[in-house]
Structure 1
Amino acid sequence: MEANEISYKQKFGKDLLTLLLSKYEQSQSFVTGIPGKMRPQLTIGKSPFARDYNDEMDFRKRHWMNERLFELEQEDVVQLTMAKYRSDEIEKVYLQWQAVEEAYRISGRTPLRTKLEQLRASLIPLSSHPWRWVQKWRQEMDDALAQGKAVRLDPDDVQGTVDLVHTLNELPLLGDRAVPIRIFSQRLFRDTKHLERQTLKRLISLAKQASGEQRETEEEWLDWLGLTRNPQSVFLCGSLAFRTRSGKQVDTSAFPGGLGLSGETIDMITDFFMPARQILTIENWTSYHHYLEQPSVRAGEVLVIYTGGYPNRVLQSFLRKLSQVVNEASNPPELLHWGDIDLGGIRIFKWIQSNFFSELRPYRMGVNTLLQYESQAAPVSEDYANQLLHALSEPQYADWLPVLETMIKRRIRLEQECIID
């Protein structure tokens, strides 16, 4: 035989068995391990091989394919059925149940069951993970893999899962301060960009799917996991005084346009002094800067703090210290939060309220504001409306029922930046 004929037959045989094994791996018989009545099969005329098989310009292809198929049938790897009235035309090919292992050997394909067991082994380090949601996810994946189901893991990328597991195990060790992604990547993989190229997307997807947490942006998800793309700061404006460990005292009212505090600065703060009679946290950057023009801010009556959606870890550290002073005050300031009038804005309000300021009240987030700026509001989709309906039945949103009902009735949501007076 010519070299071309030999290589053609070998490649065809491997490709054919790979296709049949792929059908087998997608069948219920693979999941149960019990051969079913229907064997993995393909019709030559409807397969990827049809064009070559029916190539009238080169009859050798059909001849070589037939010869290889007859060889496989003689080896009892497949069973063939011939087309009616055509002695040289094979119609269907069936994979023999007892020859599955032999088919894997001939094709050179790694058995899916082997890949699934490799995935199960790669998940073992998460068994005692300190985050309960990670433990639960690992158990769910292990149960599915044991049943022959890959679920949301890629059997052909075991190393990708190994990297994900390695990342998940290191995250709880980061502490309270978010670490820049590239520094973390260098620490784990000796490559500053490996995390972003290979693991970050699936890490965030997993957190969204399995953690039960709610976040609006990728940056917020990263911060929740303990990572950040850029250094974090706290931006505020108004009347606040504090003392540092070195004994120096700072009065923020000296900066009428506001200022930013780094994490290192916040760590150095030992005492707060609260001359302002009102603290207002603001979700969005544009609204924050616009509000700084208010006379009450210039007069030192209000301390304005930018949250940027869910507060990042540096801001959480600041709010933790500030809330302790507020809670101990005999005459505490009024606590307000201004955010979007939508599910995200409400969730951020509830999060700040439950974690820092139990007496927090919404500012310009009620029904009257929603209706006043209805012409500026954005329409909501059917899916979003269903989320609003679901929120109506959740106890945590009991105080927000009038707003949720109005959003559903009017099919609108209002972003904070639309409210400019």
Structure 2
Amino acid sequence: MDYQQLILTRLLEKYEESRHFYGDARVNRKVALKFNHKEFPWYDLERVEVKEAVHFAVKKLREKGMIKLKWMRFEEGNILEEVSLNLAQLESVYQLAGRKPKGDSLLEVHSRLAAIKKTVQIPWIEKFLKDSIEHLENTKSLPRYLPKEEETCHKFLSALAGIEEKGSDEMLERVFSRKYLGSSKEMERKVRSRLVTVIKEFFPLDKDLEDEVVLEYVGILKTSEDLLFRGPLEIDLLQERIDFAPFIFGTSLNTETIKRLIVRKLKVDKVITIENKASYLAYIKDNDRDKELAVYLAGFYSPVKKMFLEKIWNFIRVNSPETEFFHWGDIDLGGFKIFLQVQNIIPQVQPFLMDVETLRKYVVYGDLIEDNYRKKLTALLEKPEYRIFYPTIKEMLGLGVKLEQEAIEI
């Protein structure tokens, strides 16, 4: 083991966290490394060969003028108490430690952020870059959203630049990763989780959205997405009229079709969005639902599902405003949040089978709620947007259960 390099590295880590680095040290306090188990566990007094190797290393560093030594009282030359860094020799210390100065690394990150910011037009990326640059300038430290590891930080910033460059085009995640990060798996390995966090914060998006849905909002797709539905919908697609009424067992549309379609006819009494696939399939088995449009959401809707719902809503509110809209989801925190998401598009939507009566009827199939979950439920009673679910939430708290919609017979 290279004890000289190890000792200098630990000292530089302390220096980079000290007021000396940030330039606001009020006293000339030394940057010291104590030779105890917490700060330098490699210093093992029971192993003579290790102890002597450490002593040899610190003496060499002292000869080079990089550190000062302090021995334990009455143990001069036998037991080390601490070493302190010679701040006047920082450049030489960094070189011998084989470590890039933190100031240089921060300057490189700042330059990269500024370079991307000059060309960026996507608002959430611009805000992230602006906040990150301000944080760097004010604190001389990396913002919490940027990776500390240099290569990973570079990859992350390359992903942001890639999202800006591709604009509104959609790309499969592995294609995006290969084009902008150099390998089809780099996105998943090094960037995905942090990127999702930043998008949720700066886009902003609901913190409960699945990672795949979040990435879809910026045009990065895990796989090509299909939307499942059943109902007498007629559309125009590239000058062709298509009638889906004969598809009584349901059908699907892909992303490009949804983008290009124009709703031409939809004579229904009811539109219902359904959270879970098993419940959707059970619902559409009833062939007497000719006057209904049923849409499978798969949880929180993605951008393409949002586009489809907006097209349906915009057609119906003009041509048949008497049509009723419903959403059917789990009787739980997620189900309530998904309902509010649908309500953002369709203000008049009402919950379906998410009431007190349904909860009581199927309570034996419910899952018990824990204390932390109970606190989150209780907090919803203070939020007016959840008012429609107040009775159900109170019943959940009283019964101590939540209920997945698959338990409900339809």
- Range of TM-score over shorter length: 0.7 to 0.9
Q: Which amino acid counterpart does residue 306 of structure 1 have in structure 2? A: Y
Q: Residues of 2 paired with 1:78 and 1:352: CA distance?
A: 64
* Aligned partner (choices 10, 35, 38) of residue 19 of structure 1: 10
Tell me which moved more, 119-128 or 227-236: 119-128
The reply on whether 1:200 has 2:192 as its aligned counterpart is yes
Shift of residue 111, structure 1, vs aligned partner: 1.6
> Counterpart in 2 of 1:217?
210
Q: What letter is aligned with 1:310? A: F
Considering only aligned residues, what root-mean-square deviation do their CA atoms show, in Å? 2.9
Query: Greater shift after overlay, 362-371 or 171-180?
Result: 171-180
One-letter identity of the residue aligned with 1:112: K
Is 1:110 the counterpart of 2:100 in the alignment? yes
The equivalent position to 1:364 in structure 2, one of 331, 345, 353, is 353
What residue number does 2:127 align with? 136
DSSP-derived class of the 2:55 partner: helix
Count, aligned residues: 404
Give the C-alpha shift of residue 379 in structure 1. Answer: 2.9
2:61 alignment counterpart: 72
Cα gap change, 1:264/1:92 in structure 2, threshold over 3 Å: closer, same or farther? closer
Query: How has the CA–CA distance of structure 1 residues 172 and 302 changed in structure 2, closer, same or farther, with 3 Å as cutoff?
Result: farther
Match of 1:402 in 2: 391
Structure 1: distance between partners of 2:185 and 2:147? 24
2:240 is paired with a residue whose SS is coil
1:310 paired to 2:303: no
Tell me which amino acid in the other structure corresponds to 2:219.
G
CA distance in 2, matches of 1:303, 1:328: 17
SS of structure 2 residue aligned to 1:405: helix
Report the counterpart of residue 233 of structure 1 in structure 2.
Answer: 226
Q: Which residue of 2 aligns with 1:3?
A: none
The alignment status of 1:169 with 2:158, answered yes or no, reads no
1:287, 1:416 within 8 Å by CA — same for their partners in 2? yes
Q: 1:272 to 1:54 in 2, by over 3 A?
A: same
Partner letter of residue 260 of structure 1? S
Residue of structure 1 equivalent to 2:407? 418
Distance 2:52 2:182 in 1: 54
Contact 2:233 2:263 in 1 (8 A): no
Query: Identity of paired residues, percent?
Result: 24
Measured at CA, do residues 232 and 63 of structure 1 come closer, stay the same or move farther in structure 2, by a change above 3 Å?
A: closer
Q: Is the Cα contact below 8 Å between 1:35 and 1:97 reproduced in 2?
A: no
Instruction: Describe the superposition over 1:367-400 as per-residue Cα deviations: whole angstroms up to 9, x where unpaired.
Output: 2222332222223343333333443333433333
Secondary structure at 2:217's aligned position in 1? Answer: helix
Contact 2:232/2:293 (<8 A) preserved: yes
Counterpart residue number, 1:48: 41
**TM-score when normalising by structure 1:** 0.84
Listed one character per residue, the Cα deviations across residues 138-160 of structure 1 (whole Å, up to 9, x for unaligned) are 33333333313334256653332
Q: Distance in 1 between matches of 2:372 and 2:108?
A: 38
Q: Distance in 2 between matches of 1:329 and 1:141?
A: 48
**Alpha-carbon distance, 1:177 to partner:** 6.4
Residue 254 of structure 2 corresponds to which residue in structure 1?
262
Structure 2 matches for 1:269-308, cutoff 5 A? 269-297=261-289, 300-308=290-298
Q: Call closer, same or farther: CA 1:302–1:171 in 2, change over 3 Å.
A: same
Instruction: Give distance in 1, aligned partners of 2:103 and 2:15.
Output: 12
1:376 to 365, 372, 388: 365
**Counterpart contact for 2:268–2:293, Cα < 8 Å:** yes
Specify whether residues 395 and 129 from structure 1 end up closer, same or farther in structure 2 by C-alpha distance, changes over 3 A only: farther
Asked whether 1:88 is paired with 2:77, we answer yes
Gaps of 5+ in 2: none
Counterpart of 1:248 in 2: which secondary structure? strand
Q: In 1, Cα distance between the equivalents of 2:200 and 2:184?
A: 24
- Shift of the 27–255 alpha-carbon distance from structure 1 to 2, 3 Å rule, reads same
